[in-house]
Structure 1
Amino acid sequence: MRTSEWIQAGFATILAVAAWIRPLPAGRRRIVTLLAVLALLAIAAARSSQRVFDPYSVSVLRDWLPVVLMLVPYWQTGQFFMGPNEKIQSWLIKTDRSLLNVVPHLGGAFDRLTRGSIEWAYMFCYPLVPLGLGVLYAAGLRQYTSTYWFLVLVPTYVCYGITPFVPALPPRSIHAEPKAAANKGRVLNLWLLKYGSIHAISFPSAHVASALAVSLVLLHFVPIAGVVFLVVAFAIAVAAVVGGYHYAIDVLLGAAMALIVAAAWFSHLIPSTLITAPAMALAAGF
């Protein structure tokens, strides 16, 4: 299997096992387990499709499969959320106020931004990962897909892994906002979150981690595109805080996750063989 497939299959399985160890309702345990099974079946099906399709088509399919499978651990971690921990949530709120008070000069800048532009900026967190892979394809650098997914999946999944230990509601769910503040972008974002989110924060912010990770990969391979994606990633981070989708601390920690993994790779602390191929002992049976 590819390294990205090992990461996704392994993480989904770990969460399934954790669901049976932690005190969860039976229904939630079954959902976490079912999601893990679906992820494993999707990976197996993609690999087995070589019996039907040509090798190139199968390879492309496996390049893009992580885009869909990234949602699996997100929904799995959502099943661990039984309600906010008041102490943790209070700490997040206090930390948020402290961090935002450090940069009071930004308040005016935020006031000048239209609410619509903030909401549309945040919405870029959804298509940014597949767009980044599309840039690699367009640049003729598909051979670096494994590197791309390693540097994106690792910080994102670390954020997912920490999330169950920091159960808290996002700021937007705590602080009431006037109806006049709603605009089309806000309405669409809230609709997407209502039907597609876990209704809790991912701590650290997985959206920020993945967005920054994508931009850092592209900065290395396609610098011009990387600069554009970096600006978008910054806009997503700002919008996440201003729009009340995340606390400032989990946005900062999400960015830190992406930076740490990328720095380890740039410094050659991560062996290239770990990214391009699984260990032979693990791969032998597949």
Structure 2
Amino acid sequence: MMRPAPALVAGVLFFVYCAATAAAQGPRRRNRVLAGAAVGLLCVWAWAMVEPWTIPHDWLMPPIVLLVAYWTSGALFTSPSRRWEARLMALDQALDIRGRSARAPRVVAELLEIAYAGVYPLIPVALALHLTMTPRPDPDRFWTVILITDFICFTMLPLIQTRPPRALEDGAPWRSSVRRLNTALLGAASIGVNTFPSGHAAEALAVALLMLDAPMPVVSWMLLNAAAIAAGAVFGRYHYAADALAGYAVALAVWWLL
């Protein structure tokens, strides 16, 4: 009998965790979380049923599981913790993140906003590069690292509930045309709250680490991209600096252990 892939086991555990955590919620929120967990478990089961090395197995089901996990975790948010927000903001203030953002040249601001937006197509692009540019492509390991990295980030949301720094500060940190696109995307598709560790930073580093055996130009581009996404998240005030650092730590640990 074949052993289930770690990503499938992690998916089951994550959605069971969400369902268990929902027990302490009010009826409306609890029902939303339970519905999300049920859909998530169904998606994990459907993923397990399709043949490996097919488009549904490698390209379709894993992103669906990821998105359902993200939205389900968002339903667990109840109210922000002022204490945690103050702790996270204190590091940003010590690093003068807001001041550095305000002093950044317009071209730097635009590039970092573009990098932040680039996280959305990043995973499918990285998967295509992994399958075509690495000597031992393994889509199951690719998705195992990505999903477990994200699951860990999402798992922390019920425990550390905060708003993003842009919600606590007056005005935009810098002038940027691309920022309007990012804020529109976040308003339409995000859960609207902060995740600690940062899923953006964690995903970006995870895919870069998965490409370390690719040709050097690809490796260099992926590592630079990971740095730019994290910088865009922090200096664009979408995340706190501690979010990005913790996201990097999660990605590195998962990649190293798996």
TM-score between the two structures when normalised by the length of structure 2: 0.88
* Structure whose CA Rg is larger: 1
Other structure's SS at 1:200 match = coil
CA distance in 2 between counterparts of 1:204 and 1:28 reads 23
Could you tell me which runs of 5 or more consecutive residues in structure 1 were left unpaired when the two chains were aligned: 50-54, 271-286
Residue 249 (structure 1) aligned to one of 242, 247, 250: 242
CA distance in 1 between counterparts of 2:11 and 2:180 reads 32
Superposed CA deviations along residues 78-118 of structure 1, whole A, max 9, x for unmatched, are: 112122111111111112111347xx8x6697335343222
Other structure's SS at 2:70 match = helix
8 A Cα contact 2:112 2:232, kept in partner:
yes
Q: C-alpha root-mean-square deviation of aligned residues, in Å?
A: 2.6
Report the alpha carbon displacement of residue 157 of structure 1 after superposing the two structures with TM: 1.5
Residue 56 (structure 2) aligned to one of 61, 77, 81: 61
Match of 2:126 in 1: 132
Tell me if 1:240 matches 2:241: no
CA distance in 2 between counterparts of 1:194 and 1:2 reads 34
Where does 1:71-150 land on structure 2 (aligned, <5 Å)?
A: 71-100=67-96, 110-111=104-105, 113-139=107-133, 143-150=137-144
Report the alpha carbon displacement of residue 173 of structure 1 after superposing the two structures with TM: 0.9
Match of 1:201 in 2: 194
Where does 1:125-204 land on structure 2 (aligned, <5 Å)?
A: 125-139=119-133, 143-177=137-171, 181-183=175-177, 185-204=178-197
8 A Cα contact 1:19 1:80, kept in partner:
yes
- What one-letter code is carried by the residue in structure 1 that aligns with 2:222? F
Report the alpha carbon displacement of residue 142 of structure 1 after superposing the two structures with TM: 7.3
Match of 2:10 in 1: 7
CA distance in 2 between counterparts of 1:178 and 1:99 reads 18
Match of 1:27 in 2: 28
CA distance in 2 between counterparts of 1:96 and 1:179 reads 13
Tell me if 1:228 matches 2:221: yes
Other structure's SS at 1:220 match = coil
- What one-letter code is carried by the residue in structure 2 that aligns with 1:193? L
Report the alpha carbon displacement of residue 144 of structure 1 after superposing the two structures with TM: 1.0
Taking every aligned residue pair, what percent have the same amino acid on both sides? 30
Change (3 A) 1:155 1:179: closer
CA distance in 2 between counterparts of 1:169 and 1:114 reads 25
CA distance in 1 between counterparts of 2:94 and 2:211 reads 33
Tell me if 1:260 matches 2:253: yes
CA distance in 2 between counterparts of 1:200 and 1:147 reads 29
Report the alpha carbon displacement of residue 141 of structure 1 after superposing the two structures with TM: 5.8
8 A Cα contact 1:159 1:202, kept in partner:
yes
8 A Cα contact 2:101 2:174, kept in partner:
no
8 A Cα contact 1:110 1:242, kept in partner:
no
CA distance in 2 between counterparts of 1:186 and 1:216 reads 28
CA distance in 2 between counterparts of 1:133 and 1:92 reads 33
- What one-letter code is carried by the residue in structure 1 that aligns with 2:70? Y
Task: Report which stretch shifted further, 150-159 or 166-175.
Answer: 150-159
Superposed CA deviations along residues 10-43 of structure 1, whole A, max 9, x for unmatched, are: 21221112111x2x12121111111121122223
Report the alpha carbon displacement of residue 178 of structure 1 after superposing the two structures with TM: 5.5
Match of 1:211 in 2: 204
Report the alpha carbon displacement of residue 240 of structure 1 after superposing the two structures with TM: 0.6
8 A Cα contact 2:197 2:244, kept in partner:
yes
TM-score between the two structures when normalised by the length of structure 1: 0.80
CA distance in 1 between counterparts of 2:172 and 2:47 reads 47
CA distance in 1 between counterparts of 2:201 and 2:87 reads 21
Report the alpha carbon displacement of residue 235 of structure 1 after superposing the two structures with TM: 0.4
Other structure's SS at 1:94 match = helix
